[in-house]
Amino acid sequence: MRTAAQYMFRQIDDWGSSVLRVVMYTLNVLEMIYLSVRATFFDQAQGLRTIFSVVSAQIYFTGFQALPLISVLALASGSIVIMQSQAQLSLLGGAEMIGNLLVVVIVREISPLLTALIVIARSGTAVASEIGNMKVNREIEALEVMGINPLSYVVFPRLVGGVISVLCLAFYFILVALIGGFLVTRLVDATPFSFYADSLARAFAAEDVLLFLLKNTFSGAIIFTVSSYQGLQVQRGPHEVPQVTTKAVVNSVVYVTVFNLIVTTLFYLNELVKLGLI
Amino acid sequence: MIDTKSIESIEFRDLSFGYDQTLLFEKSNFQLEKGKIFHLSSASGAGKSAVLRLLAGLVLPSSGEYLLNGLSVGDMSFEEFLPYRLCFGFSFDLGGLLNNRTIRENLTLPLEYHKRFTDEEIKRRCELMLRKFDLVAAADRRPSSVSGSQRKACVVARSLIIEPQVLLLDDPTTGLGESAARELVHTIGEYVASGKTRFVVIATDDKAFLNQMSVERLDIRQGKISLRGLEAA
């Protein structure tokens, strides 16, 4: 029979193994980013023209084709947040704070997170299954035989195209949520646009741009590296493709949300330090 | 542009290889002779494709050495192996075509990517292969919308389009049309006679195809790879 001490050591052992697995996985993914960038720019293979045609295709599939879905979600979430904020702030007598609230909720938090989740659902799955199928169909081996590094031909363009797409989609999300959301709200509320625009303009700060770039660039990089990495893990056959696709989605969601949480926490800690509260 | 290397010798030294702890062959030694065509023969699943994948540098030996010009491939990085790799033509037994590129783009990719040839030369070689392997009508279609024999012909044609120093063909005639198979025999003969192709290794069980060439046998038997000399036609 297992003693309490044995049980405790076993638990610690399991936790340690889990932490090690996460650390190793993260290091492998980071190594793949490094190797794909290195292979693209520093190796002798000079197929940059071919690589950038894949980048533009990735931007089309991830960025352009996601616009209708992003529009619907941005409009809906923008309208909801604006309506709720106006109602609550009017009750509290702080209607002019609407801009600050929207910048915090939509620009800093909802836009990066929802955009990332949509891109994971649409393109992360597509990239993982596409690369998985490429492994099964020996397309990856065929590239190697032709002297084309799969990291520069397959991974790098998806990474660059993905980051550009996420940045553009997040910006588009903010525009639609703030402007479209206001227009929808006008159906039930008579707040003048000049008042709303003035409140928003006063609320935007330089750190919002930094936060926007930081969150969206890294979210894009995380989604497309994790998805590509999972796709390349297919070894034996087509039955592995759905498994790696599911893993790509789960890991991307976890990494993106944890990253957003860390950035937000650090940002607000910094704000508290600036205010002298810590 | 990348300078390719001239491949003078290919050798397996004490080479062992296997998948998932199971060895397919062990401590095998052989050296391929220049200008000859080798028929890789074995029982089904005994490691023909594995030998071709080793020769192409797609997998590394479990132990021992694979030497190109006396240099161990296992010690080379992707970039160091690249000048050799560009001298290899490899035809897969199954798959191997990029599904998001047309038949023409699949053929031109190895020529365009490394900028080793002018646009005119790429076009000339591509049109020649399309005509030889009867792929003109399918040239602008993607692999998923052409017949199996056209897909196979494209894989074979892509291995030949670079006029490789080392030609590795894995089951090249399975699924290949009769006229395309004749053209393959003719092209191999032409490349070997002109000295463009120095080493040819073919894994196949197609006797009719092999009988059209003078081949030497490379056997995988009881976990060993050995040269058996000239094969009787």
Taking the C-alpha atoms of residue A182 and residue A102, their distance in angstroms, rounded to an integer, is 11
In a domain, residue A56? The reply is: yes
Q: What is the pLDDT of residue B229?
A: 63
The residue among A277 and B83 whose pLDDT is bigger is B83
Q: What is the pLDDT of residue B6?
A: 87
In a domain, residue A78? The reply is: yes
**CA dihedral sign, ordered B76, B82, B86, B90:** positive
Q: Say which amino acid occupies B173.
A: T
B8-56 pLDDT, tens digit each = 999 999 888 888 778 888 888 888 888 889 998 888 877 888 999 999 9
ipTM of this complex prediction, to 2 decimal places: 0.90
> What does each C-alpha distance from B200 to A141, B8, B173 come to in angstroms?
20, 13, 15
pLDDT of B71 strictly over 80: yes
A120-134 pLDDT, tens digit each = 999 999 999 999 999
Q: What is the pLDDT of residue A123?
A: 95
Q: Tell me the mean pLDDT in the region A78-106.
A: 87
pLDDT of B232 strictly over 60: no
For A163-227, give the secondary structure using H, E and C.
HHHHHHHHHHHHHHHHHHHHHHHCCCCCCCHHHHHHHHHHHCCHHHHHHHHHHHHHHHHHHHHHH
In a domain, residue A22? The reply is: no
Count Cβ atoms below 10 Å from residue A229 Cβ, excluding itself. Answer: 23
**Strands of B83-193, DSSP E:** 88-91, 166-170
The closest CB to that of A145, out of B90, B95, B114, belongs to B90
H or E segment to which residue B104 belongs: helix B103-113
What percent of chain B lies above the pLDDT cut of 70? Answer: 97
From the number of C-beta atoms within 10 Å of its C-beta (0-12, 13-18, 19+), residue B23 rates as: middle
Q: How confident is the model at residue A45 (pLDDT cuts 50, 70, 90)?
A: low
Say which residues have a Cβ less than 8 Å from residue B49's Cβ, sequence separation at least 6: B93, B170, B203
Q: What is the pLDDT of residue B160?
A: 95
In a domain, residue A262? The reply is: yes
Using a CB-CB distance cutoff of 8 angstroms, which residues of chain A are in contact with residue B79? 43-44
- Domain architecture of chain B: domains with CATH: 10-230 (3.40.50.300)
Residues 117-136 of A with CB under 8 A from B: 133-134, 136
**Is A101 at the interface with chain B, CB within 8 A?**
no
**Is A38 at the interface with chain B, CB within 8 A?**
no
In a domain, residue A34? The reply is: no
How many structural domains are present in chain A? 1
Q: Tell me the mean pLDDT in the region B136-161.
A: 94
In a domain, residue A250? The reply is: yes
Pick the residue from chain B with its C-alpha nearest to A57: B100
State which of A39-48, A121-130, B77-86 shows the largest mean pLDDT. Answer: A121-130
The residue among B41 and B231 whose pLDDT is bigger is B41
- How many Å lie between the alpha carbon of B3 and the closest alpha carbon of chain A? 10
Q: What is the pLDDT of residue B230?
A: 60
Q: Residue A135: which domain range?
A: 47-274
Q: How confident is the model at residue A44 (pLDDT cuts 50, 70, 90)?
A: low
pLDDT of B3 strictly over 90: no
The closest CB to that of B98, out of A45, A47, A142, belongs to A142
Q: Which of A195, A78, B219, B221 is nearest to B231 (CA)?
A: B219
Using a CB-CB distance cutoff of 8 angstroms, which residues of chain A are in contact with residue B98? 134, 139, 142-143
Q: Say which amino acid occupies B41.
A: S
**Is A17 at the interface with chain B, CB within 8 A?**
no
Pick the residue from chain B with its C-alpha nearest to A144: B58
Q: What is the pLDDT of residue B233?
A: 45
pLDDT of A47 strictly over 80: no
Count Cβ atoms below 10 Å from residue B87 Cβ, excluding itself. Answer: 21
Q: What is the pLDDT of residue A53?
A: 82
**Mean pLDDT score of chain A:** 90
Mutate to test the interface with A, among B52, B59, B79, B84 (most CBs of A within 10 A): B79
